[in-house]
A and B are shown apart, each in its own frame.
Chain A
């Protein structure tokens, strides 16, 4: 046995000829490995699989014609795309492969973009240049970008699209949460276009907080904001009892009174116990403020704070002053100045004060604060960055308090510290941080939020869209979102509109809320007399609407001021309101319009003209539209509603001029008058229904 190796060696390399021959053979064999590797490559295997899959299909000829073997590549230098994905995903662009469910042969689902213009990795991440399954999809040591999980795919749309898209609800929600939940008060997010994301919430100033509430309430609130109001956006800082005691001590000691922001009213609240509730209802407080009902449901708007336990929070004299004129305490508040008289203030205040929960403060007993506690409280307020969100006298808003998130969606995984048991991917890290920030290290300051799993996914999606690629993509691809202007109406009317907080609900010239109609063209659309009447007694235009225009108790001169301004300034250049008469249409035209209304266009499906027969709930009631709108506006609206109000639900029926004229004549003949009592009855019934629905 021992001799054999030697003899084998002798046989192979005994002389130079043998050695040369053997080395040549080894060399040739090794040369053959490269083509063999190529021959057995994964993509070739998948291409064979594709060809045998399509062989027996009826559309085999077309598919075969489209098929080109070998490595395929989409190369888009300006996007930084070198994508060979189509080498295996062969049928990606084949319209007829809708029935194929197995990968890698599925057709790409329909999207608004052409795959050849954007490639694959722009949206899906992964390694475009890779030619093996694992290198293309998984994160390996050499590559940082694993393929994106489907649930975050909308973040890729957000690399270019800065605004809301109808097909990306998750991204839209995530961005809204980012702006609304206070994230942007501490974290800076710069966009590639140079703008900085702005928070849409406005946390209250704490400089005068002792006027408004008690130290006990501040303590309980700091310990658990959601225990006071489940919809509260204030996060839980997980403070110890001592820390909450000291912060509340500091805030109260630091608070300065504002002159005139508390009143003691001589007026007594109405003796009628239902008066407060009905004033609350008439003033449409529920359009902005929610209350948790007996069934545990939150009912009402989210513009202002939830009021379920507000009586436990606010001091009676502060509440009365606030209801009389909220701008005296907070000049920037979104709450309108209702111009209540003293009796109304007393009635409403006692009703709101009654929304109390004595259990909330029962366990809180605080000794008077010591100077040490107050000093410690001040240190804590600085440490936790309270002034990032709240104005606090004597404490500066900290800068760069939290890490900037402008490129968080590209943060290298190697720089992250994961919790044990966590998947080592960037999306999992971000979601984990949002879900439970303090778990990552005991010293971290980021507070605990109460997000649902869906909200965490949405926030993660929005954050992942802030990445390096969004900076490197050509600026021409960027699609700006809706820009919020800082439009401010001028003069006395402008001051009045600020005082009434019109912009909390209405949008004008790109500024304001979305709850109520955009008023940019209001002067072209409505008749002056109607607008005057509407300010004095805002009836309801839409029977099924729960949130409505409140009555502001305006004086005649205030009403005239506002009406004149709106009629003069808020005109739409497309509508000449004097081009068509308000009345005097021929009976024949009116009759033709009526036939079109009930027949060809069946408008009664959505609108009410005759309260006895029509039931449509969707559009505004038209019983007195001839007294409300201008004929020119109606005509233009019928011709193209979206040109006057983009996104309105009313379909564009591409009406002929004759049809639009006849319908305008019919609608202008609806002046209200004797029918209006019936309309009012109907409206009351419908709004009762709406309120009933709201209670559920």
Chain B
């Protein structure tokens, strides 16, 4: 009973501390309605916790025929801590809305929802996932860029020519969740520290145990788990989804 009262009091306190939250009423008047909302670009990006995604998120509203609808109201939402600039807007002449997204302060996956209404005022939703990298994953990303990426990433950039095509046995891109999710942390540690032969794999993967420290290896694994697509079933880190209001 006592704890119940304390709990209620806590709720009241929490309530008062949140009372400053401004009521957000959209002043935008939609001039069009669509039948579907789809992603144009910007899903599955990585950014450091609390930071802007490198590219904006772009969504498009289409009608029944798949033609872009201008003037439809699109609203973005996610767990508190994720910010959108703008949080709601009308689609432009090409049916698109572009928003800059800053992720929350915790490392993990964030679900962001873009929504609009169809003719019968039914809510249409598009769910995207973005990944926030904490300190460990950020360090892992740095190590990946320095040591791993040139073989494990088949894409070349202006600054870095990929070595992927030159290798007889192809390395696994770190986003390849279907393969890497089956490997335990211990497996990944063994292959990073002792090289491919440790798991009866190619010697083209050298042993990094004398070059990378233990915490470096852990950071790399944290990064690999964070960028894995689909996410691993275990140790994926939290998924932040906004619960119904």
Residue-wise, chain A 69-102 has the 8 Å CB interface mask toward B (1 for contact) of: 0000000000000000000000000000011010
Q: Does A29 make an interface contact (CB < 8 A)?
A: no
Please tell me the number of chain A residues within 8 Å of chain B, measured between CB atoms: 55
Within 8 A of B (CB), among A20-68: 39-40, 42, 44-45, 48
Q: Does B102 make an interface contact (CB < 8 A)?
A: yes
Question: If the complex has contacts A109-B135, A694-B158, are A151 and B48 also in contact, measured as CB distance less than 8 A?
Answer: yes
Residue-wise, chain A 122-137 has the 8 Å CB interface mask toward B (1 for contact) of: 0000000000011000
Q: Does A517 make an interface contact (CB < 8 A)?
A: no
Residues on the A chain within 8 Å of B135, using CB: 109-111, 167
Q: Which of B17, B52, B156, B209 contacts A134 (CB 8 A)?
A: B17
Within 8 A of A (CB), among B98-141: 100, 102, 104-108, 134-136, 138-139
Residue-wise, chain A 99-118 has the 8 Å CB interface mask toward B (1 for contact) of: 10100001001111000000
B156 touches A150 (CB 8 A): no
Q: How far is the CA of A653 from the CA of B106 in the complex (A)?
A: 37
Residues on the A chain within 8 Å of B161, using CB: 544, 617, 689-690, 693
B136 touches A110 (CB 8 A): yes
Within 8 A of B (CB), among A157-185: 166-170
Within 8 A of A (CB), among B193-245: 202-204, 206-211, 215, 218-219, 222, 235, 238, 240
Q: How far is the CA of A668 from the CA of B225 in the complex (A)?
A: 42
Question: If the complex has contacts A601-B203, A602-B203, A618-B163, are A45 and B9 also in contact, measured as CB distance less than 8 A?
Answer: yes
Residues on the A chain within 8 Å of B215, using CB: 110, 112
A42 touches B210 (CB 8 A): no
Q: How far is the CA of A134 from the CA of B222 in the complex (A)?
A: 33
A453 touches B136 (CB 8 A): no
B136 touches A109 (CB 8 A): yes
Within 8 A of B (CB), among A597-646: 599-602, 604-606, 615-618, 642
Residues on the A chain within 8 Å of B107, using CB: 109
B238 touches A101 (CB 8 A): yes
B156 touches A151 (CB 8 A): no
Question: If the complex has contacts A45-B10, A151-B102, are A649 and B146 also in contact, measured as CB distance less than 8 A?
Answer: yes
- Smallest distance from the beta carbon of B220 to chain A beta carbons, Å? 12
Q: Which of B50, B157, B211, B240 contacts A651 (CB 8 A)?
A: B211
Query: Which A-chain residue is minimally distant from B16 (CB atoms)?
Result: A134
Interface SS majority for chain A: loop
Q: Does B25 make an interface contact (CB < 8 A)?
A: no
Question: If the complex has contacts A109-B107, A616-B166, are A44 and B6 also in contact, measured as CB distance less than 8 A?
Answer: yes
A693 touches B163 (CB 8 A): no
Q: Does A457 make an interface contact (CB < 8 A)?
A: yes
Q: Does A546 make an interface contact (CB < 8 A)?
A: yes
Q: Does B151 make an interface contact (CB < 8 A)?
A: yes
- Smallest distance from the beta carbon of A541 to chain B beta carbons, Å? 14
- Smallest distance from the beta carbon of B107 to chain A beta carbons, Å? 6
Q: Does A654 make an interface contact (CB < 8 A)?
A: yes
B51 touches A653 (CB 8 A): no
Q: Which of A40, A166, A170 contacts B9 (CB 8 A)?
A: A40
A170 touches B207 (CB 8 A): no
Query: Which B-chain residue is minimally distant from A599 (CB atoms)?
Result: B203
Residues on the A chain within 8 Å of B203, using CB: 599-602
Q: How far is the CA of A692 from the CA of B177 in the complex (A)?
A: 31
Question: If the complex has contacts A109-B136, A167-B135, are A693 and B100 also in contact, measured as CB distance less than 8 A?
Answer: no
Q: Does A652 make an interface contact (CB < 8 A)?
A: yes
Residues on the B chain within 8 Å of A652, using CB: 210-211
Q: Does A472 make an interface contact (CB < 8 A)?
A: no
Query: Which B-chain residue is minimally distant from A137 (CB atoms)?
Result: B17
Q: How far is the CA of A101 from the CA of B104 in the complex (A)?
A: 13
Q: Which of B9, B14, B50 contacts A150 (CB 8 A)?
A: B50
Residues on the B chain within 8 Å of A618, using CB: 150-151, 163
- Smallest distance from the beta carbon of B150 to chain A beta carbons, Å? 6
B48 touches A170 (CB 8 A): yes
B206 touches A605 (CB 8 A): yes
Q: How far is the CA of A689 from the CA of B52 in the complex (A)?
A: 34
Q: How far is the CA of A601 from the CA of B197 in the complex (A)?
A: 10
Q: How far is the CA of A164 from the CA of B104 in the complex (A)?
A: 25
Residue-wise, chain B 158-176 has the 8 Å CB interface mask toward A (1 for contact) of: 1111110111000000000
A653 touches B6 (CB 8 A): no
Q: How far is the CA of A149 from the CA of B49 in the complex (A)?
A: 10
Q: Does B143 make an interface contact (CB < 8 A)?
A: yes
Q: Does A199 make an interface contact (CB < 8 A)?
A: no
Query: Which A-chain residue is minimally distant from B102 (CB atoms)?
Result: A151
Q: Does A4 make an interface contact (CB < 8 A)?
A: no
Q: Which of A48, A111, A133, A599 contacts B3 (CB 8 A)?
A: A48
B157 touches A693 (CB 8 A): yes
Query: Which B-chain residue is minimally distant from A619 (CB atoms)?
Result: B163
Within 8 A of B (CB), among A278-298: 297
Q: Does A454 make an interface contact (CB < 8 A)?
A: yes
Residues on the A chain within 8 Å of B207, using CB: 651, 653
Residues on the A chain within 8 Å of B238, using CB: 99, 101
B17 touches A696 (CB 8 A): no
Residue-wise, chain A 235-259 has the 8 Å CB interface mask toward B (1 for contact) of: 0000000000000000000000000
Within 8 A of A (CB), among B1-27: 3, 5-7, 9-10, 13-14, 17
B206 touches A453 (CB 8 A): no
Residues on the B chain within 8 Å of A453, using CB: 52, 100
A693 touches B156 (CB 8 A): yes
Q: Does B142 make an interface contact (CB < 8 A)?
A: yes
Q: Which of B151, B163, B211 contacts A642 (CB 8 A)?
A: B211
Q: Does A188 make an interface contact (CB < 8 A)?
A: no
Q: How far is the CA of A164 from the CA of B98 in the complex (A)?
A: 34
Question: If the complex has contacts A40-B6, A101-B106, A616-B163, are A605 and B235 also in contact, measured as CB distance less than 8 A?
Answer: no
Known: A99-B238, A693-B158. 17 other contacts (CB 8 A): A40-B5, A42-B13, A106-B106, A110-B215, A110-B222, A111-B135, A151-B50, A167-B135, A170-B48, A170-B51, A453-B52, A453-B100, A605-B204, A616-B163, A618-B163, A690-B161, A696-B158
Between-chain CB contacts (< 8 Å), 26 pairs:
A39-B6, A40-B5, A45-B6, A98-B235, A99-B238, A101-B240, A109-B136, A110-B218, A133-B14, A133-B17, A134-B17, A149-B105, A166-B139, A167-B142, A170-B48, A297-B158, A453-B52, A601-B203, A605-B206, A617-B162, A618-B151, A618-B163, A649-B146, A651-B208, A651-B210, A653-B210
The 5 A-B pairs at the shortest CB distance, nearest first, are namely A150-B50, A150-B105, A151-B50, A615-B166, A101-B238
